Amino acid sequence: MAEDAQVPGNGDGRPFWRIVVAEATGCTDNYYFEEVHQYYTHGNAWCLPVGGDTTLCELKDAGVKLAVVSNFDTRLRKLLKDLNVSDMFDAIVVSSEVGFEKPAPDIFKIALNKIGVEASNAVHVGDDETADKAGANAIGLECWLWDEDVKTFYEIRDRIL
């Protein structure tokens, strides 16, 4: 991926996603890009990992505060709603909306503030060593990396509960 386009950025992330689509498909046609971008604006283009919705419900029912901290674009809220999980989160913090991208400590601090939890009493689950783990650890927030520290949503549930 191009070094100058690491995260979606502001708005709907078109400049970032244009590079991703071009590199993934070899096609730079604008019409093709718009079709792909529009397709991924709807929840039916996405799916939750196995156990995702069940685990979120169980954690929420147990009183665990849940937040999304994402380097995504403005489409994320709609996608979470389309996937019927947005109501499970006490906070949704999107980099393109708050002006900070992981690994910046501020994006993690915003999420913790919104859910009213201290970093020492929370865990962040992510998939990137730098953006997630280094960013979270910089403010004293534990981070579990997907496929390294945890491999399933059920494992996350069991470790938390």
Cα(106)–Cα(60) distance, rounded to whole angstroms? 25
Q: In this structure, what token pair is assigned to residue 156?
A: 């996350």
CA atoms of 136 and 1, how far apart (whole Å): 24
DSSP state of 125: E
The structure tokens listed for 136 are 């979270």
What contacts 120, CB < 8 A, 6 or more positions away? 140
Per-residue pLDDT of the chain (161 residues; tens, 9 = 90+): 233 344 555 677 889 889 999 999 999 999 999 999 999 989 999 999 999 999 999 999 999 999 999 998 889 999 999 999 999 999 999 998 999 999 999 999 999 999 999 999 999 999 999 999 999 999 999 999 999 999 999 999 999 99
Pick the CATH number of 52-160 from 3.40.50.1000, 3.30.450.20, 3.40.30.10, 3.20.20.140: 3.40.50.1000
